[in-house]
Amino acid sequence: MLRGRWLQWGITVFTLAVFLLVIVTGLFGTPAGNHNFGIVYVWLVWWALLKLLLVPLMGRFWCSVCPIPAPGDWLQRRAIITPRPGGKLYTVATKLLRRPGSAGARPWPKLLRNIWVQNLGFLSVALFSALILTSPLATALILLGFILVSLLVSLFFERRAFCRYLCPIGGFVGVYGQMAPVAVRVKDPAVCASHTDKACYVGSDAGYGCPYSNVLQKLETNTTCSMCGECLRTCNKDNIAFYVRMPGADLLDTRGRRLDEAFNGLMMLGAAFIYSVVLIGPDGPLKVTARAVGTPGWFIYAAALLAFNLVAVPGLFWLCVRVGQALTGKPKAVIGQFAARNRKRESLFADYATVLVPLGLAIWVAFTLSFTLTNLSYAWSALSDPFGWGWNLFGTASIAWTPYLSGMIPYLQVPVLLVGLIIAVALGLRTAHQHQQPSVAALPVSAFCALAVVGLLTLYMA
Amino acid sequence: MRETSRQGTSRQEPALSLPKGNRAIGTLNAAPAEHRRFSLRKAQWFAGGVTIALVLAALLAPLPVVGAPPQEQRITISAHTFAFEPGTVRVNRGDTVVISLESTDVVHGLYLDGYSISTQAEPGRPGELRFTADRGGAFHFRCAVPCGNLHPFMIGKLIVGPNLTWLRAVAASLIATAGALVVFWRT
């Protein structure tokens, strides 16, 4: 089933149809968000599916059926379903430059082979989130922008460069996808080592090379794997498999983590707090200010959001790592070792940031629960009346707003947060041990995690 | 599977040619290490079990509720431009709460989570809610009538004290943190 193309293609076509409806209803439908298909199905239905089910259970699987890169894929492949011989890809570079190798396409610039741009993209979206979440037109325009940029990028750069390096959603979906209990990995690395064809990377008659430019032999985490199944199709040694595993297995080795992914975790944590205060909190004028883009009040809000996400949260976390290091009482290095020491600090900071994956995911699940369950019933009326024009296509337009399980939300949030907290503390200690630090070094980071959970509980329950 | 040497003899059974002392030292060192690992694992499981029990106790154990004697609380909430004013309302458990909802711009509603009751108001025509606050904790109240773009986020909070739900959750979080530290701590 995973090797077949029809299921994945079918889901992608369905999501593309929904996506186009979202754009059309956003552009031409009612501006009242809760009566507009675009707002209801993107920010309630899709977001709830993504955060509550897809990411925790399937990692980055959404990316493999996401409609945004689909048109670019089809253009680059010059095929809709069945691949061309050799899984060849075509870009403008193929025509103009006729470069040998990489199927003639241009590789993504080395300097940008990280998720910093995705982090910046997420922050930019976060600045306008109160507007985007409530304005169908803004949602439609931003999605239209995504699809156009994705299409443009696929014309010039090989594979899914947009998804891997630019998409603001792809960044955190990849980072949190490490918690998923499923993965696609090689069965025996020795087979890959002796296999020079690397059909999983370059493609073959059976399929395309990895759309995310992964060399499967080196793939160790779900961060850049959408489980699209291309490698399962192309590996002629049958050496790649779909695994069900312990949740969070990707995080067990905390060494050699990346700073861009660490910052993603920190920004996501900060954003969850900002959203919880602004959107779920009782301060009405703050909500209005956050939505009034361009006003002096909004600039203050934007500055506060940036300062909190880029300075306060990372600064506090950095301080915790440093205090942990100081608690170990190691002798100070001599001046000649300054650069090495700095490198180690940076590495420790990024490695300890693995705790933010289970913690952040739990916090985002709790945040998502706080508003999706109470508003999900708008999906019925929006389904029958997507434009808010008074239609009743499926007879569900008159179903009144009914909050689902609203009294149960705190009882769902608390266990999720506790599980996330326990895994985070355990990972903090594991990080210390894997860096030959005594357990005491993980105390400040554990306190940071506890503070984050208690802070969120206070925002929601006190 | 049991590993065997090239000669086919088991690695777990030392070769006869080895000096007796070597074998004895190896056995003596290995046994306490194995024993220590086993004891550590047992202690970890025990600490984990105690942590879960304490977390569950913090969340669920019945506690005597001591508070002010019940009284009638009359509260006027003004609804306008995606906000309730006051945004946070505090009452005591057992109080009879009478909420008068006044709208100063368009039609607004008030739905109270946890109690599943609602009312609505329009300018000049207030709505009223009357109920006994018999459940402790924090409960969001939200606008129940679509009133504009920020309508889904027009939210206020009713806190029925003593707020044991929050205190229990905070206590459970601190116990969970301490428990996880104890379980995974290495000396």
SS3 string, chain A, reads CCCCCHHHHHHHHHHHHHHHHHHHHHHHCCCCHHHCHHHHHHHHHHHHHHHHHHHHHHCCHHHHHCCCCHHHHHHHHCCCCCCCHHHCCCCHHHHHCCCCCHHHCECCCHHHCCCHHHHHHHHHHHHCHHHHCCCHHHHHHHHHHHHHHHHHHHHHECCCHHHHHHCHHHHHHHHHHHHCCEEEEECCHHHHHCCCCCHHHHEECCEECCCCCCCHHHCCCHHHCCCCCHHHHHCCCCCEEEEECCCCHHHCCCCCCCHHHHHHHHHHHHHHHHHHHHHHCCCHHHHHHHHCCCCHHHHHHHHHHHHHHHHHHHHHHHHHHHHHHHHCCCCCCCHHHHHHHHHHHHHHHHHHHHHHHHHHHHHHHHHHHHHHHHHCCHHHHHHHCCCCCCCCCCCCCCCCCCCCCHHHHHHHHHHHHHHHHHHHHHHHHHHHHHCCCCHHHHHHHHHHHHHHHHHHHHHHHC
Number of Cβ pairs closer than 8 Å across A and B? 150
Task: Look up the ipTM and state it.
Answer: 0.89
pLDDT band, very low/low/confident/very high, at A341 (cuts 50, 70, 90): low
Chain B environment of A426 (Cβ under 8 Å): 180, 183-184
Give B16's pLDDT tier (boundaries 50, 70, 90). Answer: very low
User: What pLDDT is attached to residue A345?
Assistant: 60
Shortest distance between the Cα of A167 and any Cα of chain B, in A, equals 26
Range 2-61 of B in CB contact (< 8 A) with A: 55, 59
Do B183 and A462 count as a contact with CB atoms less than 8 A apart? no
Residue ranges per structural domain of chain A? 6-176, 178-251, 259-461
Question: Considering chain A, what percentage of its residues have pLDDT values greater than 90?
Answer: 83
**What would the mean pLDDT of A444-456 be, rounded to a whole number?**
98
Per cent of chain B over pLDDT 70 is 83
Instruction: Answer yes or no: do B181 and A439 touch at CB < 8 A.
Output: yes
Contacts of B55 in chain A (CB under 8 A): 418
- pLDDT computed for residue B29 by the predictor: 58
Is the predicted pLDDT of residue B101 greater than 80, yes or no?
yes
Q: Tell me whether residues B88 and A280 touch, CB distance under 8 A.
A: no
pTM value?
Answer: 0.90
What are the sequence ranges of the domains in chain B? 18-66+163-187, 72-161
Residue B30 — very low, low, confident or very high, per pLDDT cuts 50/70/90? low
Write the residue in A378, A443, A450 that is nearest to B174 by C-beta.
A450
Q: Per-residue pLDDT for A461 more than 50?
A: yes
CB contact (8 A) between residue A401 and residue B174: no
Among the partner residues A134, A280, A439, nearest to B155 by beta-carbon distance: A280
Residue B21 binned pLDDT confidence (cut-offs 50, 70, 90): very low
For chain B, percent of residues with pLDDT exceeding 90? 68
Which residue in A425, A427, A435, A436 has the most chain B C-beta atoms within 10 A of its own C-beta, making it the best mutation to test that interface? A425
Class for domain B72-161, per CATH?
A: mainly beta
8 Å CB contact of B138 and A410: yes
Candidates B154, B173, B175: best to mutate against A (most CBs of A within 10 A) is B173
The nearest alpha carbon in chain A to B183 belongs to A426
Window 116-145 of B: residues touching A by CB (8 A cutoff) are 116, 137-140, 142, 144
Q: Which residues in chain A are closer than 8 Å to B165, comparing Cβ atoms?
A: 410, 461
Closest by Cβ to A288, choosing from B82, B116, B177: B82
Under an 8 A CB cutoff, do A425 and B180 touch?
yes
Question: For residue B23, what pLDDT band results from cuts at 50, 70 and 90?
Answer: very low
Residue B114 C-alpha, separation from nearest chain A C-alpha, in angstroms: 4
B146 vs A32: CB contact, 8 Å cut-off?
yes
B144 CB neighbours in chain A (<8 A) are 401
Residues of chain B neighbouring A425 (CB-CB closer than 8 A): 176-177, 180-181, 184
Interval A184-227: pLDDT, tens: 999 999 999 998 888 999 999 999 999 999 999 999 999 999 99
Per-residue pLDDT band at A87 (split at 50, 70, 90): confident
Q: pLDDT tens across A42-59, in order?
A: 999 999 999 999 999 999
Q: Is the minimum CB–CB distance between B170 and chain A shorter than 8 Å? A: yes
C-alpha distance from B11 to closest chain A C-alpha (Å):
26
Of B87, B139, B170, the CB nearest to A284: B87
pLDDT digits (tens, 9 = 90+) for A94-137: 665 555 444 446 778 889 999 999 999 999 999 999 999 999 99
